[in-house]
Structure formats: structure tokens, C-alpha cells
């Protein structure tokens, strides 16, 4: 592809499919030399739920790897290092690991102090405690000073499962995205988690990264590269757009594939970065499909759905349906049972989107 491309003076190339992958490429000339810049934007999806990976283990492994590259990276935990998998970093760099105990507010304040002295702190605990118990410290200690603190909330959403409502963070994304200077990211699988942690370690500023407790099927392959400014179209379609992130991306892909069999063409967009959100892709979807549906493991108030509605109402008014947890606390149960109970599994998504489509189109 590269060799042939150098014979043409073309400003923009779209390769629809190459080895089940999709790229866009920009060619330009600089000082007599021709350059080709590729951007990985999607591929044909094959989800295998029998081959799941732990995103938390990938988080721990990647953190330890980045710690080898940058001795200023330090890790703080709130007595949950086995659950968050920061133990991998602790085992390798015990002098750079701080167990703050069940004192999450102190953990964030300590992380802020370390960041002020040039360290790159990753502070990890369950999402419920990482954002709820520590809100004041995050707002005034970290974000007000625009400090380089990375907050990683594991066990996000209802998929905490049997731990129940007290441990199920359904408001964390809403809390974090409203704070100035904060970046909010929700990886969808192991590969995206790896890419996000590497990005966080290399880029300055406060970040909140939300991880799932559950093992997740692979969505992205080794060619995927995380782009903080870009949502990813993983399934193209012309009738309906599904916007989602985290562990529900695979459910949306499976739902879209089933809906296409019934004649409903569904576009699936992975939106890992809730803030700063990719407005361009969302507006394009509103223009090019009949309506939008957001699907999130979070309250429908203040999360991804709200962020999408804010973009739409201010730029290209269109109908948006929000699927998630509607103004209620979670409950105890196995994670897959709770996903089904709240209508977030692929089977229920197919039914709900069919109903929406019938009402909107007919």
C-alpha cells in the first residue's frame, strides 16, 4: 500500500477494508518528501465472549511497565491493591508504592502533594470510593491546581455485582466530568485499557479512568491506538447510531449485528473519552442517521448520555434516547444478571432499539 501510494499526489485516501481493518490516510508533501499519515478508525467486529480478559490485570501490568520507563511514576492505593491489581507495581517497585489504608481522602491529598513535586501519581481504588468519598480533595486539591494526578476507579457501575448498591458507582462519571481540568476516560477492553494507561502516564493533567470489575472480551486488536480526541466507529450503519463505552461496547456490537439481520442498519461508536468528548463524530452521526441511542453502565443523568445531549442540542438538534440506570440505586446480584435486569445486554438492546425504530420511522 505504501509503495504504490507514493506514485500519486492524492490529499486524502479512504481504505474501506484491508485485512478486516479500516484506515483513513492523509498524504502530504513537505520539502519535496511525501508523507503518509494513517489513522486506525475501525474494523469488522468478531466478539468472542468465551475469551475474556481482566482489564484490571492489564492495568496493573501496564502500570508496572510504565514504571520501568519513568522512575517518577508512583502508585497509591487504599488497601485494595489485590483487587485493583496495583500489587503488580508494588511488587516491582515497593519504594514507589504507598498503601494509604482505608483513607481515600488522604490518598488523593497525598497524590496531589507528590504531583506538585514532579511525581506522576496513579491513585487507585474502587470507583465508588475514588470519586464519591474524595470529591472535595479531587476538586480543590487536584483540579483547582491542575495537578498531574491520575485517578483510577476500578469496579465501576453495576457490574461490581454482589457488593450491591453501596459499592456500585453510578454517578462517578457525572461527578468527574463536571470538574474543570479533569479528563474522563472509560476503556472498553484490555487493549484499550493498555493504551489509555500508557497515554495517562505520558500526558500531563488530572485524569479519571474508570475500569470494569468484569473480565471482558477483546474488541480491539494490536493495531488499535487510543486517540484522546477521537471516538471510534466500530460498526458502520445508516439508520441508528449507538454511542457507548466500557464493558457495554461488546453488547452494543452484538446488538447491532443482530439488528442488521432484521434490516435495521446500526452504527456503533465507541466513546472512551467522555471529557473532552469528540463533538465532530457525534454531530456527524446525528446528520447521517435517523436518531442516536446512548448506552452506559451509569446513571442516565450526567454521564455519557447527558454529554451527548449537550453536544446535540447546541450544534445539530436530533432525537437522542438514553439507556442506562434511571435515577435509582443499583442492587446486589451477579454482574451478568444485573446487566440483563437493567436491559443493557445485547438481547434487550435489540428489543428496545426495534421498538424505538418502529415508532420513529413508521
Q: Which three cell numbers stand for residue 251?
A: 453488547
Look at residue 304 and tell me whether its pLDDT is greater than 90.
yes
Q: How many CB atoms sit inside 10 A of residue 250's CB?
A: 24
* 104 labelled catalytic: yes
Global confidence as pTM:
0.87
Look at residue 96 and tell me whether its pLDDT is greater than 90.
yes
Same domain, 204 and 237: no
The band of 215, judged by pLDDT with boundaries at 50, 70 and 90, is confident
Give the structural domain span for 25: 2-43
3-class state of residue 134 by DSSP: coil
- Which of the residues 39, 95, 104, 337 is marked catalytic? 104
Buried/exposed code over 305-339 (b: 16+ C-beta within 10 A; e: otherwise): bbbbbebbeeeeebebbbbbbeeeebeeeebeebb
Same domain, 266 and 247: yes
Same domain, 18 and 155: no
* pLDDT (0 to 100) of residue 38: 43
Same domain, 242 and 163: no
Look at residue 8 and tell me whether its pLDDT is greater than 80.
no
Same domain, 59 and 37: no
CATH code: domain of residue 101: 3.40.50.970
Helix (H) / strand (E) element for 197: namely: helix 190-202
The band of 45, judged by pLDDT with boundaries at 50, 70 and 90, is low
Look at residue 72 and tell me whether its pLDDT is greater than 90.
yes
How many folded domains does the chain comprise? 3
Same domain, 171 and 237: no
What one-character DSSP code corresponds to residue 301?
S
At 281-291, the pLDDT tens digits run: 999 999 999 99
Question: Using N-to-C axis directions, what is the helix angle for 279-288 and 304-315, rounded to 10°?
Answer: 70
Query: Has residue 134 been placed in a domain?
Result: yes
- Reference 327, options 300, 296, 295; nearest CA is 300
Q: Residues 272, 226: contact at Cβ < 8 Å?
A: yes
Amino acid at each position: 500500500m505504501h509503495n504504490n501510494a507514493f506514485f500519486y499526489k492524492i490529499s486524502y485516501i479512504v481504505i474501506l477494508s484491508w485485512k478486516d481493518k479500516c484506515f483513513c490516510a492523509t498524504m502530504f508533501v513537505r520539502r519535496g518528501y511525501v508523507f503518509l499519515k494513517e489513522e486506525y478508525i475501525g474494523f469488522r467486529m468478531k466478539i468472542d465472549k468465551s475469551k475474556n480478559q481482566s482489564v484490571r490485570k492489564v492495568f496493573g501490568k501496564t502500570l508496572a511497565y510504565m514504571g520501568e520507563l519513568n522512575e517518577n511514576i508512583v502508585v497509591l492505593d487504599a488497601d485494595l491493591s489485590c483487587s485493583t491489581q496495583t500489587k503488580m507495581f508494588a511488587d516491582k517497585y515497593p519504594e514507589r508504592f504507598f498503601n494509604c489504608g482505608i483513607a481515600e481522602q488522604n490518598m488523593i491529598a497525598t497524590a496531589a502533594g507528590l504531583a506538585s513535586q514532579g511525581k506522576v501519581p496513579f491513585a487507585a481504588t474502587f470507583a465508588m470510593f475514588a470519586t464519591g468519598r474524595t470529591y472535595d480533595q479531587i476538586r480543590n486539591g487536584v483540579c483547582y491546581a491542575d495537578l498531574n494526578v491520575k485517578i483510577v476507579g476500578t469496579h465501576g457501575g453495576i457490574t461490581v455485582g454482589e457488593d450491591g448498591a453501596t459499592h456500585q458507582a453510578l454517578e462517578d462519571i457525572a461527578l468527574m466530568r463536571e470538574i474543570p481540568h479533569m479528563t474522563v476516560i472509560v476503556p472498553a477492553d484490555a487493549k484499550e485499557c493498555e493504551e489509555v494507561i500508557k497515554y495517562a502516564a505520558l500526558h500531563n493533567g488530572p485524569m479519571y479512568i474508570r475500569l470494569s470489575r468484569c473480565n471482558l472480551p477483546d474488541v480491539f486488536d494490536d493495531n488499535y491506538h487510543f486517540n484522546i480526541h477521537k471516538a471510534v466507529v466500530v460498526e458502520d450503519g445508516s439508520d441508528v447510531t449507538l454511542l457507548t463505552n466500557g464493558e457495554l461496547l461488546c453488547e452494543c456490537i452484538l446488538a447491532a449485528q443482530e439488528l442488521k439481520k432484521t434490516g435495521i442498519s446500526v452504527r456503533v461508536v465507541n466513546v472512551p473519552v467522555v471529557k473532552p468528548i469528540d463533538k465532530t463524530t457525534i454531530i456527524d452521526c446525528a446528520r447521517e442517521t435517523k436518531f442516536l441511542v446512548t448506552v452506559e453502565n451509569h446513571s442516565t443523568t450526567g454521564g455519557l448520555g447527558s454529554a451527548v445531549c449537550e453536544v446535540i442540542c447546541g450544534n445539530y438538534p436530533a432525537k437522542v434516547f438514553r439507556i442506562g440506570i434511571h435515577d435509582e440505586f443499583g442492587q446486589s446480584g451477579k454482574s451478568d444478571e444485573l446487566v440483563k435486569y437493567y436491559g443493557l445486554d445485547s438481547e434487550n438492546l435489540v428489543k428496545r432499539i426495534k421498538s424505538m425504530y418502529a415508532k420513529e420511522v413508521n
